[in-house]
Amino acid sequence: MATTGKQLFTTLEADGTLTVAIEDVTFPDPSGNQVLVRMEAAPINPSDLAILVGGADVENASYSSGKFVATVPEPANAGSRARHGLKLPAGNEGAGTVVAAGDGDAAKALVGQRVSCVPGNAYSQYCIADAAMCLPLGDHSAEEGASAFVNPMTALGFVENAKADGQDAILHTVGASNLGQMLTRICKEDGIGLVNIVRKDSQVDLLEKLGSTHVVNSSDDDFMKHLRAAIEDTGAFYGFDPVGGGQTVDTAFRAMEQVAVKQMTEFSRYGSTQPKRMFIYGRLDTGSTVLTPSYGFGWTLSGWLLFPFLQSAGQDIVTRMRKRVRDNLTTTFASHYKMRVNLDEMLTKEAVMDYRTMKTGEKYLVTPWS
Amino acid sequence: MATTGKQLFTTLEADGTLTVAIEDVTFPDPSGNQVLVRMEAAPINPSDLAILVGGADVENASYSSGKFVATVPEPANAGSRARHGLKLPAGNEGAGTVVAAGDGDAAKALVGQRVSCVPGNAYSQYCIADAAMCLPLGDHSAEEGASAFVNPMTALGFVENAKADGQDAILHTVGASNLGQMLTRICKEDGIGLVNIVRKDSQVDLLEKLGSTHVVNSSDDDFMKHLRAAIEDTGAFYGFDPVGGGQTVDTAFRAMEQVAVKQMTEFSRYGSTQPKRMFIYGRLDTGSTVLTPSYGFGWTLSGWLLFPFLQSAGQDIVTRMRKRVRDNLTTTFASHYKMRVNLDEMLTKEAVMDYRTMKTGEKYLVTPWS
């Protein structure tokens, strides 16, 4: 019995033409440890946007029912040459109900259950998913479980990473994001120091209500002074940044170094001996990262991605992390959505222009059957 | 019996006035495992220049006998606030003859010997040095031993670091430098792959004569193509850069990623899974480091300094490295000098304007008694 349904695809041609469209698809039967999930909700995360709208000129795109066609200007188009001509699915994660399973025991055990999953084509009415990556949601709604993977596991990953590196404090450059709020709750629960950088007073209030003790507003005149004080107080010489472009990382390194130099008893031409570590885990700003020569040589900057981290962390740690997410889905790991759209509504100009700005606290949820 | 002699000092005031001057000094008697070295030769390395001339406007400085006074413009002056008001010595390394020693056995054993040392005030007629850091030079001249520490140990350090990280190939962005030539000889001896980037055809010839198999000229039209081919051939996803500012590191990461993506069988929106690693170990360009978002998230960039590396490497490795330097001082680790100057000549406009440009292969040697 073939299962058919709607699915989103995104295709970039070599000439820079980006076509994002809903198509009717026949889904294969699940085999082995695969399950077929009837998808009920999938978030649009920043990590989904690159492949959805990338550097495309969506303002001047051509919109029609269930489809838009836009141009990706150079050099963004050339930078995406690895995907030229490929018709790609989109949507890292979502939640739905398992309607069929392969022969594997783990898969068969999930039939009829609502699960959170990470299929990579979550903007679809059905998905094939790996049973080992499915999280049974019990009585939770699909909306409550839709974002149970990317943000929760990333926020927990930061804390695991910090602990593995012997750190007991973290700096986060976009504190008020959905992920930042989770990180705030996790750090509070685990007794990890946390410096949250935000851009508005309302975000300071939001995080302080969550129990954050060190929230610094980058719009304040004496931002650097407050940032240094927060780093000194917590010992956060280790941080995570989803902005990527511009000088967000540079600002963090500069503040860390200024705190470290102040604590030195002797001048060193090479800067402090305090190791400073930052990770870029997103590209909210797709411009270049700019690092000024202001903090000596005792620093390390890396890209950070969830899946390579989970692979290196090993199964025991991942199992523990997932259990914690499931047990605290509507508290520590709760997500909030500004708007719900179906697959067709997701490709209207109004929606695209709004979710591509990735405003803090304004996440979209795709509900493929609504 | 007090020992007196000339020594160079560099002082930056809060208002940006930089004074570099030769003064008459009384040197203390060595104690414990210290020795007093009559300095005969000391190189001006790029790592010495920041403290000597920094961002100073040496073109419009006021020069007099054994002294110059220059202005360090903003923001460089503010960036150096940690040294404001401090009168600092200069000169990391040099060679000379031990004329007195403290009570320690290691120190007493060196009396009368010519040694290479790392006193931090090598631009001086005498220095107090740590006996444990002295390398007895045997019959070698002071000139042969003057640069026995910084460049040789740094080049060896790169190879030790690479091996410790499981790498069998290195990329070096300034291949024809004194250090680059040493690295070329070491990699050849140790069977480590090496991609050398240079800027001139004459430098290609120079390195090929030293046995370098992968020299790439950044002035060539098809530089990126050659760089990719060299990385593919050697597997050098791990490199060292003394430039710092601009896009030298970015170019290396981009080429590495392009090679890695070509080797992938499937498209990934996050870039290749090939880890890419670069280290900045100098600041020949004091501008900002610019990293374009062109190579996914599988990269790490760190500052690299010799002394922290030696501390983390441990005594056994350091002892083995130093023995190798001593045994190969005039071959693998030979340095060449463009010009010899005494302490007064070192502070003339002609000399300052020349050595501060840090041209490849044009190193100065300070001979304090000439």
- CA angle A59–A61–A66, rounded 5-degree value: 115
Percent of chain B with pLDDT strictly greater than 70: 100
User: Where residue B325 falls among pLDDT bands split at 50, 70, 90?
Assistant: very high
Cα A332 to chain centroid, rounded: 16
User: Where residue B215 falls among pLDDT bands split at 50, 70, 90?
Assistant: very high
Q: Which residue has the higher pLDDT, B73 or A267?
A: B73
- CA angle A201–A205–A208, rounded 5-degree value: 130
**For residue A136, with 0-12 CB atoms within 10 Å meaning exposed, 13-18 middle and 19 or more buried, which class applies?**
middle
Token pair of B3, please? Answer: 């020992």
Cα A207 to chain centroid, rounded: 19
Chain A nearest-CA distance from B111, in A, is 30
Which of B269, B280, B299 best probes binding to A when mutated, by most A CB atoms within 10 angstroms?
A: B269
The whole-number average pLDDT for the span A281-299 is 93
Chain A nearest-CA distance from B82, in A, is 6
Residue of A nearest to B304 (CA): A297
Question: What residues of A are in contact with residue B302 (Cβ under 8 Å)?
Answer: 299-301
Just give the CATH number of A3-147+335-366. Answer: 3.90.180.10
Structure confidence at residue A1 (pLDDT): 64
Considering only the beta carbons, identify the residue of A88, A273, A304 that sits closest to B308. Answer: A273
Domain residue limits, chain A = 3-147+335-366, 151-309
Percent of chain A with pLDDT strictly greater than 90: 86
Structure confidence at residue B265 (pLDDT): 80
Q: Which residues contact B165 (CB under 8 A, 6 or more apart)?
A: B238, B277
Give CA–CA dist A139/A336, Å, rounded.
18
CA-derived radius of gyration, chain A: 22
Which overall architecture, per CATH, does domain B151-309 show?
A: 3-Layer(aba) Sandwich (3.40)
The whole-number average pLDDT for the span B271-286 is 93
From B149, B152, B191, B150, select the one nearest B170 (Cα to Cα): B191
The full length of chain B comes to 370
pLDDT in tens, A127-164: 999 998 999 999 999 999 999 999 999 999 999 999 99
Tell me whether residues A290 and B288 touch, CB distance under 8 A. yes
Give CA–CA dist A224/A217, Å, rounded.
9
pLDDT in tens, A303-321: 999 989 999 999 899 999 9
Instruction: Give this complex's ipTM.
Output: 0.91
- Residue where the block lists tokens 């022969």: A103
B55 Rama class: left (phi>0) / alpha (psi -120 to 50) / beta: alpha
Q: Is B24's pLDDT higher than 70?
A: yes
From A259, A292, A188, A317, select the one nearest B245 (Cα to Cα): A292
Q: Which helix (H) or strand (E) holds A74?
A: none
pLDDT in tens, B232-241: 999 999 999 9
Token pair of A302, please? Answer: 């890396």
Is the pTM value of this prediction over 0.90?
yes
Question: What residues of B are in contact with residue A50 (Cβ under 8 Å)?
Answer: 269
The per-residue pLDDT of chain A, averaged, comes to 94
Considering only the beta carbons, identify the residue of B51, B261, B287 that sits closest to A82. Answer: B261
Largest CA distance in chain A: 76
Structure confidence at residue B2 (pLDDT): 81
Give CA–CA dist A217/A203, Å, rounded.
8
Structure confidence at residue B1 (pLDDT): 64
pLDDT in tens, A84-108: 999 999 999 999 999 999 999 999 9
Structure confidence at residue A243 (pLDDT): 95
| C-alpha to C-alpha distances, A44 to A47, A336, B130, B239, B346, nearest whole angstrom | 8, 12, 61, 37, 63
* Amino acid letter for position B88: L
Q: Which residues contact B121 (CB under 8 A, 6 or more apart)?
A: B7, B8, B89, B90, B91, B127
Give CA–CA dist B202/B361, Å, rounded.
12
Give CA–CA dist B259/B252, Å, rounded.
11
The full length of chain A comes to 370
Tell me whether residues A291 and B291 touch, CB distance under 8 A. yes
Give CA–CA dist A161/A278, Å, rounded.
12
Q: Is A124 helix (H, G, I), strand (E, B) or coil?
A: strand
Q: Which residue has the higher pLDDT, A22 or A261?
A: A22
- CA angle A68–A72–A73, rounded 5-degree value: 145
Tell me whether residues A300 and B304 touch, CB distance under 8 A. no
| Cβ atoms B123, B133 nearer than 8 A | no
pLDDT in tens, B115-143: 999 999 999 999 999 998 999 999 999 99
The whole-number average pLDDT for the span A73-82 is 84
Chain A nearest-CA distance from B288, in A, is 4
Tell me whether residues B269 and A51 touch, CB distance under 8 A. yes
Which of A253, A269, A283 best probes binding to B when mutated, by most B CB atoms within 10 angstroms?
A: A269
- Residue where the block lists tokens 């304090």: B368
The values of phi and psi at residue A79, to 5°, are: -65, -15
Query: Please, how many CA atoms are within 13 Å of residue A269, restricted to the half-sphere of its CB?
Result: 25
| Cβ atoms B195, B167 nearer than 8 A | no
Question: What residues of A are in contact with residue B52 (Cβ under 8 Å)?
Answer: none
**For residue B316, with 0-12 CB atoms within 10 Å meaning exposed, 13-18 middle and 19 or more buried, which class applies?**
exposed
Q: Is A234's pLDDT higher than 90?
A: yes
| C-alpha to C-alpha distances, A67 to A61, A309, A343, A346, B17, nearest whole angstrom | 10, 35, 10, 9, 64
Tell me whether residues A283 and B293 touch, CB distance under 8 A. yes
From A31, A86, A77, select the one nearest A56 (Cα to Cα): A77
Q: Which helix (H) or strand (E) holds B370?
A: none
CA dihedral A123, A127, A133, A138 (to 10 degrees): 90
Structure confidence at residue A321 (pLDDT): 95
Chain B nearest-CA distance from A201, in A, is 30
Tell me whether residues B79 and A294 touch, CB distance under 8 A. yes
From B366, B365, B364, B361, select the one nearest B178 (Cα to Cα): B361
Which of A84, A154, A294, A297 best probes binding to B when mutated, by most B CB atoms within 10 angstroms?
A: A297
The whole-number average pLDDT for the span B283-293 is 93
Fold match between B3-147+335-366 and B151-309? no
Considering only the beta carbons, identify the residue of A79, A82, A298 that sits closest to B303. Answer: A298
Q: Which of A74-83, B1-10, B61-70 has the highest mean pLDDT?
A: B61-70
| Cβ atoms A296, A270 nearer than 8 A | yes
| Cβ atoms B241, B158 nearer than 8 A | no
Token pair of A193, please? Answer: 């120091």
* Amino acid letter for position A204: V
Instruction: Output DSSP code: residue A369.
Output: T
Task: Determine how many CB atoms are found less than 10 A away from the CB of residue B165.
Answer: 10
Instruction: Output DSSP code: residue B30.
Output: P
**For residue B330, with 0-12 CB atoms within 10 Å meaning exposed, 13-18 middle and 19 or more buried, which class applies?**
exposed
Question: What residues of A are in contact with residue B296 (Cβ under 8 Å)?
Answer: 303, 305
* Amino acid letter for position A175: G
Instruction: Output DSSP code: residue A59.
Output: G
Which chain B residues touch A if contact means CB-CB below 8 Å? Answer: 50-51, 79, 82-83, 86, 88, 244-245, 250, 261, 264, 267-270, 273, 280-281, 283, 286-294, 296-305, 307-308
* Torsion sign over Cα B280, B281, B284, B286: positive
Q: Which helix (H) or strand (E) holds B18?
A: strand B17-27
Q: Which of A82-86, A259-263, B45-49, B114-118 has the highest mean pLDDT?
A: B114-118
Give CA–CA dist B227/B224, Å, rounded.
5
